[in-house]
Amino acid sequence: MWTRTGMVVFGVVVLAAGVAGCGESGSSGTTAPVSVSGAGCAPVAGSQLVVLTDDKKLQNSDNIVAVINTKASTPALVAATDKVAAALDTNKLIALNKAVDVDRKTPQVAAQEFAASAGLTSGLSGGSGAVKIGAANFSESQTLAELYKIALTAAGFQASVQTAGNRELYEPALERGEIMVFPEYAATFTEFLNQKANGKDAAPKASGDIDATMAAAKELGGKVGLSFGTPSPAADQNSFAVTTAFAEKNGVKTLSDFAAKCSGQASILAGPPECPQRPFCQPGLKDTYGISFGAFHQADSGGPQTKTELTTGKATVGLVFSSDGSLAAS
């Protein structure tokens, strides 16, 4: 699946690479089905985007979760990372990402401000010794790692943050205890462990059910010396967004609403080149929700091209990341 780390996990979800049959139309490829039933809903331009609720759980559950080296795990350490998890939800994660990616605060400053407002340092104790926290090389991961540092320091640990490379490098470091804690994404990390243990063609273990996904993660992680904190309500996963103006005009809040009112010829989907082929993108919208589109506009993986397609009224709905800072209400 597509994640902020730029990795593709077992070909699920909403964005990745290589396309077949996308025509060239201006700056983006455009593909139209041979025939589509239903009138659909034309795009509506607007400056603000809103995510449509994935009420049938097409996407996997990529809730934020602390991955912990089991030998380094203590009740005080888990309590600290769990306090971070409980303090967050997706809207708060969006606000944190906005602070860094839009308002240009450092991850350290954004984390400190959030920790103060959320009372993150209260009630934590019992920690001692050094704890090295890992962070991937993108802002959301770095901000989450800084939140862990604040909570772990308040608990009595000597906590530090180390920016790591990609998952293929830092996951073995977690197993070895060179890194003790890492903010991860439940479904993506579960499938990483699954494919590492069982091969690239392994049957998926992750799903839209966070409890089932975490049960699989714990089984796989336990075999390599990894354990997990409590998953946060906050999630960073592939989502489908429309403009707020479109949602208000058409009365849609969920993907089921969109299916009932907007499946058809006038609706245009924007996303990465692989979207027409990926089971969690255009085919998934068709199979899970019964949504058809009159055209597909080739853009990017939840980035500025897709968002521009939406805000300028060129696309009806587009694939975004659910915790994108640009989704914060202005």
Domain boundaries, the chain: 23-58+237-327, 64-228
What span, in angstroms and rounded, lies between the C-alpha atoms of 139 and 108? 10
pLDDT of residue 37: 79
Asked whether this chain's domains 23-58+237-327 and 64-228 adopt the same fold, the reply is no
pLDDT of residue 85: 98
pLDDT of residue 29: 56
CATH of region 23-58+237-327? 3.40.190.120
Query: Which one of 3.30.70, 3.40.390, 3.10.105, 3.40.50 gives the CATH number of domain 64-228?
Result: 3.10.105
Task: Assign 306 a pLDDT band (cuts: 50, 70, 90).
Answer: very high
Q: What is the mean pLDDT of residues 22-30?
A: 39
The answer, yes or no, to whether residue 259 has pLDDT greater than 50, is yes
pLDDT in tens, 193-242: 999 999 999 999 999 999 999 999 999 999 999 999 999 999 999 999 99
* ∠ Cα 230 4 177 (to 5°): 50
What span, in angstroms and rounded, lies between the C-alpha atoms of 193 and 58? 21
Does pTM surpass 0.85? yes
At 238, list the tokens: 């592939």
pLDDT in tens, 96-152: 999 999 999 999 999 999 999 999 999 999 999 999 999 999 999 999 999 999 999
Cβ neighbors of 262 (< 8 A, separation 6 or more) are: 40, 41, 250, 252, 291, 316, 317
